[in-house]
């Protein structure tokens, strides 16, 4: 009797909650931006139309006037490298496909040799790369205080000489062309604010092959404080004002505990995929600052929010939440006006990027919820037919998936699954995600009540 009473209370609450959510608006799990580079084998400039973006891509390659190239998924670029010899043939082996991440379209970045009038299998050297596209205002509107925005992208070193880990920014402007992510354009008289948040590789040279959180303020790059100054670790304030030259201890170079190393090779050869995942918590730090956290996954690793949190716990400076004041001065945390952010930007040397996503949950940002939550029959819309399937399997479906109503894959079909379905009612490609008619909502509430009664009996 105690268990039945618990189910009645919880399921009853789910009905009430669903009614509230219907009136409150769309569900929290939303894929805001998805750029798969589905533009064929062509130059990137002038291409656009991806989810959550406006305008078209503008790219720059300091060694090639045509800018960035889009490469079809499933094909090698023909770029030759020196690191690996047979059996790989000395080629960059990335083809845009991933073992642990859904992919589509193509990938973009450095042009291949044939794109530059050279033979397949020759050197891949071009120059410094920058590219940007506009962000839809509806995406920016989600960057509200005390909300979370996730982002992810796949990236690969395109060549094995003078390459760098790409830097990604959600911001107000583009990075200065050819700066390798050192500066963002900033001129208040021209409306150039020079603010952004994200991460990847960056200056100085000692940080190029690493991943770590960063932000721009008034055109200047910032990262965790406590790096090297004058070959002494622990004195840098985190404001990166110079690129510096060669060497592993240039001003601003971070300690290995403050960054994740880039992976260039795997079992297939040169061209290992790095999956960069970032989390932005707007105005959520103790002083009202933003929190930026950033990690890198490999293709052989499990992608999960638990694994993300574990990586941050192992290396606390991968999150600005943990940046502390010290001998270098203040904690250097980001405190930006995210309502101004209207641009996506990449910068660095000789790389490929793919599968850019911005979302409100971890699952969405790694592409594991590209279908419609609540859709049991995979017809692209959540409707009464899906409710009937869930009702039939309620209390059962252990080990099942969305086809039986077990949307979270946990235990049996339960109140959480019912809540998912009712929250998503009307969503999907076959119908707009609008508030259901009162009659529909009433029928669903009656159906949910029937589920409760059946469980009690």
SS (H, E, C) 387-425: HHHHHHHCCCCCCCCHHHCCCCCCCCCCHHHHHHHHHHC
Lowest-confidence pick of 233-247, 265-279, 400-414: 400-414
In 140-158, which positions are buried (b, 16+ CB within 10 angstroms) versus exposed (e)? Answer: bebbeeeebbbbbbbbbbb
pLDDT > 70? residue 85: no
Same domain as 152, residue 128:
yes
81 with 121, same domain: the answer is yes
Encoded tokens for 287 = 């002083």
* 355 and 377 share one domain: no
Please, what is the average pLDDT of the chain?
A: 85
Structural domain span for residue 155? 31-365
Pair 432, 284 in one domain: no
Is 322 found in the same domain as 452? Answer: no
pLDDT at 27 over 50: no
At which of 346, 365, 384 does a domain end? Answer: 365
Q: Which of 322, 339, 365 is the last residue of a domain?
A: 365
> For residue 410, what pLDDT is reported?
65
Q: Out of 313, 341, 365, pick the residue that ends a domain.
A: 365
Q: How far is CA 132 from the centre of its chain?
A: 16
Could you tell me if 191 and 216 lie in one domain?
yes
Same domain, 264 and 166: yes
Residue 11 pLDDT > 70, yes or no? no
Total domains in the chain come to 2
* 358 and 427 part of one domain: no
Pair 181, 94 in one domain? yes
Q: Position of tokens 């720059």?
A: 60
As beta bridge partners, residue 275 has 154, 297
158 and 289 part of one domain:
yes
Q: Are residues 156 and 247 in the same domain?
A: yes
- Please report the pLDDT score of residue 298 as a whole number: 95
Q: Which residues contact 183 (CB under 8 A, 6 or more apart)?
A: 175, 176, 194, 216, 219, 220, 221
Alpha helices, DSSP H, located in 341-398: 362-365, 384-393
Residues 14, 147 share a domain = no
This prediction's pTM: 0.77
């Amino acid at each position: 009797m105690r268990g039945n009473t618990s189910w009645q209370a919880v399921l009853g609450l789910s009905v009430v909650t669903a009614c509230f959510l219907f009136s409150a608006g769309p569900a929290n799990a939303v894929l805001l931006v998805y750029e798969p580079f589905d533009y064929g084998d062509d130059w990137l400039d002038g291409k656009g139309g991806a989810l959550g973006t406006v305008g078209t891509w503008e790219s720059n390659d300091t060694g090639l006037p045509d800018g960035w190239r889009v490469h079809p998924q499933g094909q090698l670029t023909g770029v030759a490298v020196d690191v690996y010899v047979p059996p790989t043939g000395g080629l960059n082996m990335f083809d845009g496909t991933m073992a642990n991440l859904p992919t589509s379209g193509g990938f973009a970045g450095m042009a291949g040799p044939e794109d530059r009038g050279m033979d397949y299998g020759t050197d891949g050297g071009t120059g410094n790369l920058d590219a940007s596209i506009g962000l839809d205002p509806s995406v920016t509107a989600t960057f509200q205080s005390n909300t979370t925005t996730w982002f992810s992208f796949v990236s690969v070193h395109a060549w094995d000489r003078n390459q760098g880990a790409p830097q990604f920014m959600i911001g107000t402007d583009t990075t200065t062309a050819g700066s390798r992510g050192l500066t963002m354009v900033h001129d208040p008289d021209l409306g150039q604010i020079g603010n952004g948040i994200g991460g990847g590789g960056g200056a100085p040279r000692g940080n190029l092959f690493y991943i770590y959180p960063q932000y721009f303020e008034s055109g200047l790059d910032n990262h965790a404080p406590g790096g090297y100054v004058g070959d002494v670790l622990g004195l840098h304030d985190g404001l990166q004002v110079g690129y510096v030259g060669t060497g592993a201890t240039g001003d601003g170079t971070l300690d290995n505990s403050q960054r994740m190393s880039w992976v260039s090779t795997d079992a297939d050869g040169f061209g290992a995929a790095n999956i960069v995942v970032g989390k932005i918590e707007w105005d959520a730090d103790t002083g009202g600052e933003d929190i930026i956290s950033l990690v890198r996954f490999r293709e052989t690793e499990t992608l999960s929010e638990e694994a993300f949190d574990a990586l941050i716990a192992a290396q606390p400076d991968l999150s600005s939440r943990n940046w502390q004041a010290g001998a270098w001065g203040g904690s250097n945390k980001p405190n930006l006006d995210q309502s101004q952010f209207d641009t996506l930007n990449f910068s660095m040397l000789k790389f490929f990027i793919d599968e850019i996503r911005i979302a409100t949950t971890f699952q969405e940002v790694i592409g594991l919820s590209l279908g419609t939550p609540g859709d049991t029959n995979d017809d692209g819309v959540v409707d009464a037919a899906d409710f009937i399937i869930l009702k039939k399997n309620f209390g059962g479906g252990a080990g099942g998936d969305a086809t039986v109503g077990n949307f979270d894959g946990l235990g049996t079909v339960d109140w959480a699954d019912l809540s998912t379905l009712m929250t998503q009612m009307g969503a999907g490609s076959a119908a707009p995600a609008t508030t259901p008619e009162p009659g529909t909502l009433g029928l669903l509430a009656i159906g949910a009540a029937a589920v409760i009664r059946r469980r009690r009996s």
